[in-house]
Amino acid sequence: MKEKSKIAIYVALGANIGIAVVKFIAAAFTRSSSMLSEGIHNAVDSTNQLLLLLGINK
């Protein structure tokens, strides 16, 4: 069970990091403050997933 949880979190982490990068690039090109906000949101979600992994490991 623990390994399946880790795999799901790693997949979600990779997806969130990828989405955050794309949103930051889009924000840079379009100068959209809402896209920048969304990129930050995805970065914070990624941090939450890292904290989940830390908690599982401890």
pLDDT value for 27? 97
The model's pTM? 0.85
> How big, in percent rounded to 5, are the helix, strand and coil portions of the chain?
95, 0, 5
What is the mean pLDDT, run by run of 10 residues, along the chain of 58 residues?
82 95 97 96 95 91
Q: Is the dihedral of CA 28, 31, 37, 38 positive or negative?
A: negative
Confidence at residue 1, expressed as pLDDT on a 0 to 100 scale: 62
Q: What is the pLDDT at residue 2?
A: 72
The residue extents of the domains of the chain are 2-57
